[in-house]
Structure 1
Amino acid sequence: MRIHSLKYNAFMNMILMSSSFIFPLITVPYVSRILSPSGMGAVAFAQSVVSYFSLFSLLGISTYGVRACAQVRDNKVELSKTVEELLVILVISTFVVYCIYLAVLNFIPRFSSEKKLFLFFGSMLWLTSIGVEWFYQAIEQYDYITIRSILFKIIGLFLMFMFVKETADYRIYGLIVVFGSCGANILNLLRLHSFVSFIPFSQLNLKRHLKPMKSFLVSSISSGMYTQIDLVLLGFLSSNGVVGIYQLVVKIKSMLLTAINSVVNVMLPRLSYYAKNSQDKYRSLFIKNINFVFLFSFSGIFYVLLCADAIIDILGGSQYTSAVMPLICILPALLIVSLNTILSQYLISSGREKEYAFVNFIGLVFSIVFCLLLIPPFGAVGAAFSCSLCELCALIVRCWFARAFIKGIVKDIKILPAPCAACVSFFIVFSIRQLWWPANSFMKIIVSGVLFLIPYFCFLVIFREETVLGILSKFCHLHEKNSF
């Protein structure tokens, strides 16, 4: 099979992540106004609850599978055996979890009141398990992943405009969300035979995966729970309307993280490969990853801070004005989550699954504590603030476990250029706002972007930020080449 370059993979993943950013910009304003906060809250709550069950059915294979397959991708026989063994484990675990899920729907009133909606989302358990997304990530088939995902997003977009017409259509919207999110996974399974050759069941060795999967299981469940616990606990401690307000904030955070992590997320397979074959390349790639996160996270945080009210107005409308403060409180998580992702990649690719699992468990504990303390008195604002605090605590613990590695690379990490450039650019735009500012929300976003990004880019050049200088150098070289 052909393994593309990291630049190609990053480019394809940026297209995919851009679609994950652009499509919500089209769908969220429409459904937010049609379904109202209560309808959106019902869908968001059901989706979050199902994601919890999915964590148990996946058994951490969404992460473990990437590493396990990436390490043997040059050996088709061993790769085929690994994929088939993991699929068998997933089918068994999903069957057990789905039976428990059906039982829960009948005994918990908060779930049974929306049984049809929860059944729609329950199909995600099977679609996610058989989707083998981890396999295609391991063999770095990002062009296929991108094309397939965008196609199903387009189909889902048309279905949404055709069938979601009034507030009562929130269940239909939930079904469309399932199709857009997981429908493409059926294609993954059908296409699998092109890469692997299945062997008789008697030759499989499922036990060899159970021990290394333990750490991934604990970490996957813990991290998945603590990234969703704010929304789930908010659903139990408040109304669908409050959940609807907060889900818009979570969607905006997810869109921004998707854009920031567009390059970061393609690195794990290559880091796992370099960890066994080239420590110099491993170290270099890790440093580039951190510098990239600083560059985009700080720009995202300060830019959204400038126009949070305009973003909420465009995406949600007047019913969601109370989402502005939660959005501001959750902004620090953009940087912290991205750094947590990078340090998690280090722990995974270097074989330190136990530390990776422990940090995620600690993160879950922090998240539950912060949510129970802050949600009752502050509602959606408390949920947003607890998210940022939880991620910060998890980052501190991850830095402690990775301290030896960080100490060896910290001198090569350019920490100051991005935050300094972002702060200066923010105060420039903030000063201009005191003299003049457009009334239209869309124009606020455009003007803020132009006035912020131009000085931000200029100051990065002045501060000698290596990523920006590298892009400029390549652009100038390409321009000179075309001139001749």
Structure 2
Amino acid sequence: MQVVKNYLYNVFYQLLVVLAPLITMTYLSHVLGAEGMGVQAWTNSIVSYFLLFATLGITLYGQREIAYVRDDIDLRNKRFWEIQLLHTFVSVIAIISYVIFVFFMRQVSGEFSQNTHQLYLQTWVIVSGLLDISWYFMGLEDFKKTVIRNSLVKIAMVILIFLVVKSPADVNNYILLLALTQVVGNITMWFYIPGQVKLPKLRTLQFKRHVLPTLGLFMPTIATQIYLQLNKTMLPLFQTNSIGLSAFYENADKIIKVSLALVTALGTVMLPRVANYFVKGNILAVNKAIYKSMDFVTALSVPLMFGMMALGPKMSIWYMGLPFLPAGWTISILSPIIVLIAWSNVLGTQYLMPISRTKDYTMSVTIGAIINIVLNFITIPLWSLYGAAVATVLSEGAVTLYQLIVVRHDLSIGKLFSGTWKYMVAGVIMFAVIVPMTMKLQANPSGTVLCIVVGAVIYFAIIFLLRAKLVMESVGFVKKFLKDRK
């Protein structure tokens, strides 16, 4: 039951994280346009590389380490300060490096010289990373605090966007607002620390023991960030005066992430749980949790993939305006990553990471990053925006395939995908029904909602008839709940 509660908390927060920009996207697309939104997306992609260095793989490492020692209060306090002080030291170096980088790059003609001020404003993003201690609470499986505090900050952000962003000239306000809300959100989590964590004697702290493990996780984080941000960075560099392409890709990516929030939220919840099973030597419980998780994320991700593939173009027209139609086609191309990332999240984040197989996880995302870089140089010149999307899909496919290869001797591939065909059959039939509907209906919210409702009914009816594992377990869970209530 605790896993279910934590999953729901994390789903709520992850949805809010992606829904907050979605709520404002239609407003901003008309107020700032592709140019203004492109400036924010491109400059944010640049600062993200330095934020990556500032976090140094600590988010996943810290979460796992706290999960290992959560029952020992003294050791837990010690681990927190060791990891956070290391985090602070590295973040300060990252901030200084970023400011120096922008100072020298301002002389480079093109996007760097035109957006120097905006790049400086993005420095606050790294500051927010320095203050982020959500990994501590996630390691304790305490998701409620993170959700409540950060949710209030996200809601405030949405309200402030409507208040301070009124014209294309307000792009600087928009950049600064996004960064500062992250800073405020992370500061609020520190108010819980005095009551939970005591400062041990400084001479007892061992910082060196965390350097190599965090560097080990730094590599996969670099690789992951490359194919999350590189497309937005490279698109304007291949074509002059095309920073708007970054906005198209950014908006498509945000909409896809709404779907991903539902499936990847489980990974955040399961990592500390599986890590705790593993440290206690309960391998049977580890494997059982992974099989259940894989079935669950497949059941969710398959209809989301086919739904986004079918609805992307029409939805983008009424939601962002006709000029943003390229973002809609990008959504359709990117939609397979919903399933691919769902699977790699189970295999990588929920399995390889908690059992300390960091090398395998690192190799998988490194391969994906290399493939993405190579393909970007081929596909972006050929197909521009759509080429970047194709490169992303192929890269995610490579990550998932490699992870399947390295776990094949420890997990049964047959058990991992035993019910996948049922979800795929239901998804294909749903897709076949709603595609003609989207062609006949007008591009408006009511048409999209109708397609979603019809698609959902068809999908769940078919998996019920096929007696998919998720359905049977859900029925059993409800029966048990009702029996316990009597």
The yes-or-no answer on 1:274 pairing with 2:291 is no
Q: Give distance in 2, aligned partners of 1:42 and 1:250.
A: 16
Paired amino acid for 1:392: G
Q: Does the 8 Å contact 1:290/1:342 carry over to 2?
A: yes
The yes-or-no answer on 1:8 pairing with 2:9 is no
Deviations 1:251-304, CA, capped at 9 Å, x for gaps: 112222112323233111111111122222211111111111111111011112
Q: Give distance in 2, aligned partners of 1:409 and 1:119.
A: 51
**2:296 is matched with which residue: 287, 292, 307?**
292
Deviations 1:85-123, CA, capped at 9 Å, x for gaps: 111111211121111111111111333432332222211
**Secondary structure in 2 matching 1:74:** coil
Deviations 1:155-212, CA, capped at 9 Å, x for gaps: 1111101100001111111111113334211112232222211123222111111222
Deviations 1:298-335, CA, capped at 9 Å, x for gaps: 10111122221222123311120122222211111111
The number of residue pairs the alignment matches comes to 478
Runs of at least 5 residues in structure 2 that lack an aligned partner in the other structure: none
Please say which of residues 94-103 and 411-420 is displaced more in the overlay. Answer: 411-420
Paired amino acid for 2:154: K
Deviations 1:17-59, CA, capped at 9 Å, x for gaps: 2323432331111111111001001101111111111111111
1:351-366 equivalence runs, <5 A: 351-366=356-371
The yes-or-no answer on 1:82 pairing with 2:79 is yes
Q: Give distance in 1, aligned partners of 2:236 and 2:134.
A: 29
Please say which of residues 378-387 and 338-347 is displaced more in the overlay. Answer: 338-347
Q: Give distance in 1, aligned partners of 2:326 and 2:418.
A: 38
Q: Does the 8 Å contact 2:121/2:176 carry over to 1?
A: yes
Q: Does the 8 Å contact 1:28/1:316 carry over to 2?
A: yes
Q: Give distance in 1, aligned partners of 2:479 and 2:18.
A: 29
Deviation at 1:341, TM superposition (A): 1.4
**1:257 is matched with which residue: 252, 260, 264?**
260
Identify the residue that residue 213 of structure 1 maps to in structure 2: 214
Deviation at 1:411, TM superposition (A): 6.5
**1:373 is matched with which residue: 361, 375, 378?**
378
Identify the residue that residue 73 of structure 1 maps to in structure 2: 70
Runs of at least 5 residues in structure 1 that lack an aligned partner in the other structure: none
The yes-or-no answer on 1:42 pairing with 2:39 is yes
Identify the residue that residue 175 of structure 2 maps to in structure 1: 174
Identify the residue that residue 301 of structure 1 maps to in structure 2: 305
Identify the residue that residue 429 of structure 1 maps to in structure 2: 434
Q: Give distance in 2, aligned partners of 1:25 and 1:314.
A: 13
Deviations 1:336-394, CA, capped at 9 Å, x for gaps: 11111111121111111112112222221111001111111211100111000111111
With over 3 angstroms needed to count, the CA separation of the structure-2 counterparts of 1:389 and 1:72, relative to structure 1, is: same
**Secondary structure in 1 matching 2:356:** coil
Deviation at 1:234, TM superposition (A): 1.5
With over 3 angstroms needed to count, the CA separation of the structure-2 counterparts of 1:431 and 1:311, relative to structure 1, is: closer
The yes-or-no answer on 1:452 pairing with 2:455 is yes
Deviation at 1:213, TM superposition (A): 2.1
Q: Give distance in 2, aligned partners of 1:280 and 1:480.
A: 28
Q: Give distance in 2, aligned partners of 1:326 and 1:309.
A: 8
Q: Give distance in 1, aligned partners of 2:118 and 2:475.
A: 50
1:72-471 equivalence runs, <5 A: 72-108=69-105, 109=108, 110-238=111-239, 239-277=242-280, 278-345=282-349, 346-407=351-412, 410=415, 413-430=418-435, 437-471=440-474
Q: Give distance in 2, aligned partners of 1:182 and 1:236.
A: 30
Please say which of residues 159-168 and 243-252 is displaced more in the overlay. Answer: 243-252
**2:14 is matched with which residue: 12, 17, 27?**
17
With over 3 angstroms needed to count, the CA separation of the structure-2 counterparts of 1:41 and 1:433, relative to structure 1, is: closer
Paired amino acid for 2:16: S
With over 3 angstroms needed to count, the CA separation of the structure-2 counterparts of 1:424 and 1:120, relative to structure 1, is: same
Paired amino acid for 1:76: I
Q: Does the 8 Å contact 1:291/1:415 carry over to 2?
A: yes
How high is the sequence identity, in percent, across the aligned residues?
23
Q: Normalising by structure 1, what TM-score? A: 0.94
Paired amino acid for 1:257: L
Paired amino acid for 2:123: G
With over 3 angstroms needed to count, the CA separation of the structure-2 counterparts of 1:347 and 1:476, relative to structure 1, is: closer
